[in-house]
Amino acid sequence: MSGLFEQSPFDPATDRRVVILADWLPPDFGAVGQYMQMRARRLAESGHAVTLLGLSSKATSTVRAPCGEGSLMEIRLQTQPVPRGSLAARLLWTIWTDLRLVRAALGPMRAADGILFTGSPPFLIHLLVPLRFLWRGRLVYRITDFHPECLIAAQDRPSRALGALQGLTNFWRRRVGRFEVLGEDQMRRLRDEAGIPAERIALVRDSSPVVFTEGEPTEPLPADLGDACVLLYSGNYGIAHEVETFVEGYRLHHQSGSGRVRLWLSATGAGAEEIVARLSALELPFHRSSPVPLERLAGLLKAPDAHLVVLKDAFVGFVMPSKIYACLGSQKPIIYIGSADSDVDLLARVSGRPYWRISCGDPEGVAGALEALADSTRGTANLQGEQRR
């Protein structure tokens, strides 16, 4: 899949000092922080002096160390968890967190040749672009999730306030000199809907956050999954992730089909809670566990027979499920519920692995894919004759 990747715009010869702003850094759970820490280390190893600023649930700290041909300084700001109770509380948390990050980064940014910020935490663009006169370094916006578009996609009806915020956000976006996107779907959104010229957009995909080795131990399968064909969903299961089609397809598989596939949900988020509530109400078999630390992730991803990836149509091009990279790296089959317009489909199709894509709203397709998955794995005969719960 090497042809699907482009190089980062940072050059050690011209961008010696680089600052990266992100959200939750490991060991805290957060895909953006994980990938930005990896990015920071790669840049440092290639000769950059990198300062990575992010959030921590434990304590504020600063650690600096040589790294390859360069150096890496990590600055972590102790921060309370994101309040999930109300949109207003989340907005206040975001504003305060963005202000703290920018304030802590002011010194390093004034000395930087390049500044990379992400879409998480949201709305940093509303501070960094208006204040860009304070530093000389090139500003690069790595769009991870689109905000406020994700908020808009989650709403049942249009919001004038969010529409105005989107207009202001696009105003600032058009004043950013360089963008990085995670996929071709994001590139289309940025070019066609935000009005960003194509020459200012670079496709720089993430890679797997874990390295798979033959001798690495595999996480044991939960005992209550028995000898079933195990389908794993791991990571965040949030508002962008499809629930209805999977639950109904899973129900059909167990109540009208062979019931050979069982779900292992190693996830957090609102979608995970909804999945648990609905499958429990239907008395369908599944196993729920917490996400594992990054150092155990490879072992977890090697454990199941296949991986589940889901995405609502309204979020295509606004969200790129980063779990797809590690899922592909595990060499396991993939079931994807979502649109063919997402780069999830592009990456999975060219991987050469067994792969099923089902459109949102097609539970019969999900049930069929589960049967096909069971036929292709060790679960084919294991549950035949077993009474379904």
**Does residue 3 surpass a pLDDT of 60?**
no
What is the CATH number for 199? 3.40.50.2000
Residues 199 and 230 occupy one common structural domain: no
Domain count along the chain: 2
Instruction: Please classify residue 63 by burial: count the beta carbons closer than 10 Å to its beta carbon, then call 0-12 exposed, 13-18 middle and 19+ buried.
Output: exposed
Residue 9 is predicted with a pLDDT of 67
Residues 241 and 193 occupy one common structural domain: no
**Does residue 383 surpass a pLDDT of 90?**
no
* 4-39 per-position pLDDT tens digit: 444 566 777 678 999 999 999 998 888 899 889 999
In a domain, 251, yes or no: yes
Residues 162 and 250 occupy one common structural domain: no
Domain range for 146 is: 2-203
Residue 387 is predicted with a pLDDT of 29
Confidence of residue 115 (pLDDT cuts 50, 70, 90): very high
Residues 28 and 173 occupy one common structural domain: yes
Last residue of a domain, one of 203, 231, 258: 203
Q: Is the CB of residue 109 less than 8 Å from the CB of residue 134?
A: yes
Residues 79 and 146 occupy one common structural domain: yes
In a domain, 212, yes or no: no
In a domain, 39, yes or no: yes
Question: Span 302-320, mean pLDDT?
Answer: 96
Distance separating alpha carbons of residues 349 and 360, to the nearest angstrom: 18
Confidence of residue 300 (pLDDT cuts 50, 70, 90): very high
Higher pLDDT, 352 or 72: 72
What are the structure tokens assigned to 119, written together?
A: 């879409």
Confidence of residue 131 (pLDDT cuts 50, 70, 90): very high
Last residue of a domain, one of 150, 173, 203: 203
E strands within the chain? 17-24, 49-56, 61-67, 70-78, 114-118, 138-143, 178-181, 201-203, 229-236, 261-268, 286-289, 306-310, 334-337, 355-358
Last residue of a domain, one of 203, 232, 255: 203
Residues 62 and 134 occupy one common structural domain: yes
In a domain, 387, yes or no: no
